[in-house]
Amino acid sequence: MASALGVAGSAPTASADPGCEIRENSPHTDWGSYTWPIDLYCNNTTGDVTSQSFAGSPATGRMTKTTSWFVCWKIGSPHAGKNSVWYYTKGDEVVNNPGQQGWGYMPASALGTTKAPFPGLRKCSWG
């Protein structure tokens, strides 16, 4: 099993962004058996979770909740947030490609952060 390690510890990390925090000891495993021990728990907009980190990529999932978790980030195509940071997560609903289980990317502009990438969240190992 592959592992994308995060920051060790046991308590949430303080954040300068209201509504966003790094949560330690909050593991997630994706459809490809990659595991992350931490996440970014943050306010977000609803919308598509895409299979790749670029606009126009097919949706694999959909965020229906406005507070969600994200496990890592990578650089993709520019988006409305005037940067190229995309966050990897699992959608609340699977809409396409059931084998991917709704995992994919949301642009940084969909998250309620003031910095992208968010400090303390690791870059995706494949990005």
In a domain, 93, yes or no: yes
pLDDT of residue 107: 97
Q: Is residue 78 part of a domain?
A: yes
Q: Residue 46 sits in which domain range? A: 20-110
Report, as an integer, the average pLDDT of 7-29: 68
In a domain, 31, yes or no: yes
**Residue 116 forms part of a structural domain:** no
The whole-number pLDDT of residue 17 equals 60
Query: Given this model, what pLDDT does residue 9 score?
Result: 37
Number of separate domains in the chain: 1
Evaluate whether residue 122 is within a structural domain.
Answer: no
Q: Tokens for 124?
A: 């995706």
- Measured CA to CA, the distance from residue 102 to residue 62 in angstroms comes to 7
Lowest average pLDDT, out of 8-22, 50-64, 99-113, goes to 8-22
Q: Does residue 121 belong to any structural domain of this protein? A: no
Residue 71 belongs to a domain: yes
pLDDT digits (tens, 9 = 90+) for 64-94: 999 999 999 999 999 988 899 999 999 999 9
- The mean pLDDT value for 20-30 works out to 96
13: pLDDT strictly greater than 80: no
117 belongs to a structural domain? no
d(CA 22, CA 46): 20
CA distance 106 to 85: 9
